[in-house]
Structure 1
Amino acid sequence: MGLSNKIIALLNFLAILSSIAIITLGIWLASKSDNLCNQYLKWPVLVLGILLLLVSASGFVGAFWYKKGFLRFYLFCMAILIILLLVLLVFAFDVTRPDGSYPVPGRAYKEYRLDGFSSWLRGHVVSSGNWRKIRECLSDSDNCSEMNGEYVLAEQFFVAHLSPIQSGCCKPPTACGFTYSSPTVWINPANPAADTDCYLWGNDPAQLCYNCNACKAGLLGDLRSEWRKANVILIVVVVVLIWVYIIACCALRNVQTEELFSRYKEGWA
C-alpha cells in the first residue's frame, strides 16, 4: 500500500472516530429526561452518524485495499454528508437562538415564556397534537417527584437551581402568587393573577402544571440548553471532516498522478 493510500486510510479512521462521536451525541440527546418524552429530535443526529460511519468504513476499505470504486463512492457521499451536517448545524443554531428564559426576583431559578422561543420549536415540539403524549410522559417521569426529597423548606427551594422542566412543570409560575407548602404542593391565593397558567395548576401529582404554557416553555428551555451543547461537538466534527475530505482529495489525486507517471515510464521502457 502506497503512502497516499496509507494517508487516506488513516484519515478515514479519523472520520470513523468522528462518526462514533456523532452517534454518541445522538444517544446522549435521546437519554436526557426531556428527550425521553420527545424522541424524534434525536433521529437526525443518529442517522447522520450511522451514515457517516458506513461511508468512512467504505473509504477505509477502498484506501487499504486500493479499491477505486470505494474511494469514489466515499468522496461523493462524504461531500453530501458534510453538507447535511452543515445544514443541521445552521438549523440547530437558528432554532435555538431565541432564549425564552427570564430571571425571577428573589429566586435562583429562572422561568420561561413560550413566546420567547422560535416558532419552529413551538410549532413542531409543543403543538397541541404532540403535547398530549409529551404531557403523559412527563407526568410519568420523576422530574417533579424527586424534588420533594431534595427541598423541605421554602428557603431551600427558592435558592435551588431548577432545571427548565422542573421550573415550568412542577410548580406554578411565581407571578400567580401561590404560597409554598412543598416543591409540588402550593396554596392557591384568594385572587390569583389573570394568567391562564394560574388556573391550570393542581396539587395532584398527575396534574401539577403539565397543561401550562410554562411547562411547554420549560421543555423547550431544556431542549435549547442541550442542543447548544451539542452544537459545539457538531462544529468540531464538521471542521475535522472538512479537513479530512480536503486532504483525502489531495491524496487521491496524488495516487492518480503517480499511476499516470508510472504508465508513462512503462510506455518509454
Structure 2
Amino acid sequence: MFRFIVTNNGSGHSVAGLRYKEYQLKDYSSWFLKQLNNTENWKRLKGCLVKTQDCNNLAKKYKTLKQYKSAKLTPIEAGCCGPPSECGYPPVNASYYDLSFHPISSNKDCKLYKNSRAVKCYNCDSCKAGVAQYMKTEWRIVAILNLVLFIVLSIIYFVGCCARRNAVRRRSKI
C-alpha cells in the first residue's frame, strides 16, 4: 500500500506490515503550490474529487481489508481517501477508518480527516500532494503527446514544402 505522508518535520512514521511512498507538498514547484493553495482553485478541484466518487468506490473495488492493504492505490486514492498513514488510524474497510484512536502524529491532516463521504481528507495537505502527483504524471503524458504531434506536423510541413518546391521547378522548366 502506498500512502502519502505529509509531515511537519519531514520525517514519516510507518505502521508494521505496510509499505509507504512519501510525497510532500514541498516536492512541487512554488507556482504549482500557489495554484493548489488558492482557495477558489482548491474548492473547484475538491468538488470534482467528491463528484468522481473514487473514495466511496474503494469499498466496492476492494472487498476485503487484506485486498485494500495490498493494493497499489492511485495518488488521489492514497492522498484523499484516507488519513495519512502516520496518524495510525486502523482501517475498518477500504473507505472507513476507526477514528476513536488518538493520532500518533501531530500532523494537522490527522484531525482534518473524517469518514464522511463529502469530507474524507479533501482538505488535507496529503490530498493536495496526491493531486499534485497525479497532475505531474498526467502533464508529462500530455507533454509527450504534444511533442509527438509537433514532430508529425513538422514532417508533414517539410514534405509539403518539398512538394511545392518540386512543383514550381517543374512548371519553370516547361
User: Which digits, 9 at most, give the CA deviation of each residue in 1:158-186, with x for residues without a partner?
Assistant: 21011111101000011111111122221
**Residue 129 (structure 2) aligned to one of 212, 217, 222:** 217
2:93 matches 1:182: yes
1:137 aligns to what? Answer: 48
Shift of 1:129: 2.2
How far residue 219 of structure 1 moved from its aligned partner, in angstroms, is 1.2
Deviation for aligned residue 1:203: 1.2
Identify which of 1, 6, 28 aligns with 1:117.
Answer: 28
RMSD: 2.3
- TM, length-normalised to structure 1: 0.53
Within 2, Cα distance between the matches of 1:126 and 1:148?
29
1:94-139 per-residue CA deviation (whole Å, 9 max, x = no partner) reads: xxxxxxxx9x774467453222122332223552220012212212
In the superposition, the TM-score normalised over structure 2's length comes to 0.79
Residue identity in the other structure for 2:158: I
Structure with higher Rg: it is: 1
Asked if the contact 2:103/2:110 (under 8 Å) is kept, the reply is no
Per-residue Cα deviation, 1:190-218 (whole angstroms, up to 9, x for no partner): 24311111111111111110000111111
* Partner of residue 144 from structure 2, selected from 220, 224, 232: 232
Q: Structure 1 residues 256, 239: CA separation in 2 closer, same or farther (over 3 Å shift)?
A: same
Counterparts of 1:122 and 1:237 in 2: how far apart (Å)? Answer: 29
| Cα distance change of structure 1 residues 111 and 186 upon mapping to structure 2, 3 Å threshold | farther
Report what 1:156 is aligned to.
Answer: 67
The superposition leaves residues 43-83 of structure 1 with CA deviations (integer Å, 9 ceiling, x where unpaired) of: xxxxxxxxxxxxxxxxxxxxxxxxxxxxxxxxxxxxxxxxx
**Sequence identity percentage:** 32
